[in-house]
Structures are given as C-alpha cells and as structure tokens.
Amino acid sequence: MKSKFPLSVHLALTLVWFWVAFYMIFLYAPREETMGEVQRIFYIHVPSAWTALLGFIIVFIASVVHLWKQKPLADQVAHAAAEVGFIFCTGVLITGPLWAKPVWGIWWTWDARLTLTFMLWLLYIAYLMLRGYLIQPGRAANLCAVVGVIGFIDVIVDYMAIRWWRTQHPQPVILGGPNSGLDPRMLATLLVSWGAFLCLYFYLVRQRLAVAQARSELSEIRRTLELARTER
C-alpha cells in the first residue's frame, strides 16, 4: 500500500527539522546564567522524555484497541511504539545523569521522578522481553497488551511526580504554576526541538512497522506454500 506521505519525504523533513533545531539550540537560545552552556542538554533531555512518555501513551491506546478488537495492526503499532519509545527512554537516562553531574554534583539520586523514569525504562524492557520469550504470537500479543495497559499507570505517576512531591529533579517549567516559566527564546527552541524528536519518533515507528508487516506477510506466504505442498 502506497502512503500519501512517503518515508523518503518523512526522512528529509526530519533532517531539515533537526538542522533548524540545532541552529536554535546552539545559536538562537540564550546562555542560561546559572548553569552556563551545559544547560543546552535541556533541549535534548526534555524532548526525549516527552517523546518516551508519548511512546507509552501510544502503546496504551494500541493495546486497548488490540484487547478490545483483536486487530493485528493495533498489536504491531503497540510493539513498534514500545521499541522506539524504549530508545528515547534510554536517551533520557543517558542525558539526565550527564546534566546532573555538573549541576547537582551527583550522577543519580533515587527521587520520585528519576525512580519512576527508571521504572518506565524497565517496563519497556519487560514488554519487549515478553515479546521475545513467548512463542505463540496471539498469546504474546495479549499478554503484552496487558503490560502496555498496566504500564500506563507509571506514565501518569511519572508525569505528576514533580507536581505531587518535592524532588531533586526541577519543578515543571511549562504548565507548572505561577513561578514557572521559560525565556520565550528558550521555549521556542524547546518546542522546535521536540517537534524534531517527534518527527524522528514517527519516522522510526513507521520503519519498524514496515518491517513487522513485511515479516507477517512472509509468514502468511510460508503458511500458504506449506499448505499447498501438503495438499499435493
């Protein structure tokens, strides 16, 4: 099936968007007074985190659709969204400590936000390992869908953690209350960067989905061939 938005165009758009984002991160956004240049990690750390959370929201929606309608496409979408989301969640856990060390003086602390993000990463691993270990495809899809639905609780608590509890992790800078906020140029840079991350996320999900669909078509052809051979 031909898409109205070809993958090559999607890739080109992603690359251009990243080029603009990098220009804004290093040349347009002002230098933060307290942290200095290292604060520019913010423009990849926060978009990675938001994209990873969005990944699990997509897993949740696709899992609910799969459990309700038993549609293989919903299961394939959930699997692709989880795999790519895992990559972005790993990115959060790499860039976070590299930002924390020069600013807090420590690589890691077990506060609510950091612990819940680590739990989200473990949930992604559990989800993907379950897929690998279960041999019956239908059973694996149903069990993973249950993990995808339960895992969504972590997404909500993780998002709310810095609002509910006092944490080492900074309070939200967007929609965080009267004392929160960002310089308009920093906000514009953050949003453009997140746009680039989203574009990349959906490009990778589409590629991963294409592999899954090609694989399922291959299995279907194999089954048909075997059937034809036994009938002969």
Q: Which residues bind another protein (CB under 8 A)?
A: 36-38, 40-41, 44-45, 48, 84, 87, 90-91, 94-95, 98-99, 101-102, 200, 204, 207-208, 210-211, 214-215, 218, 221-222, 225, 229
Cβ 68 to another protein, closest distance in Å?
29
Burial code (b: 16+ CB inside 10 Å, e: under 16) for 136-157 equals eeeebbbbbbebbbebbebbee
Cβ 129 to another protein, closest distance in Å?
16
Among the residues of 165-232, which ranges form H helices?
Answer: 184-231
Cβ 77 to another protein, closest distance in Å?
16
The smaller minimum CB distance to another protein, of residues 87 and 187, is found at 87
Cβ 37 to another protein, closest distance in Å?
6
d(CA 42, CA 198): 16
d(CA 35, CA 170): 13
The smaller minimum CB distance to another protein, of residues 142 and 216, is found at 216
Count CA atoms closer than 13 A to 18's CA, side-chain side.
12
The smaller minimum CB distance to another protein, of residues 41 and 152, is found at 41
d(CA 182, CA 115): 26
The smaller minimum CB distance to another protein, of residues 25 and 161, is found at 25
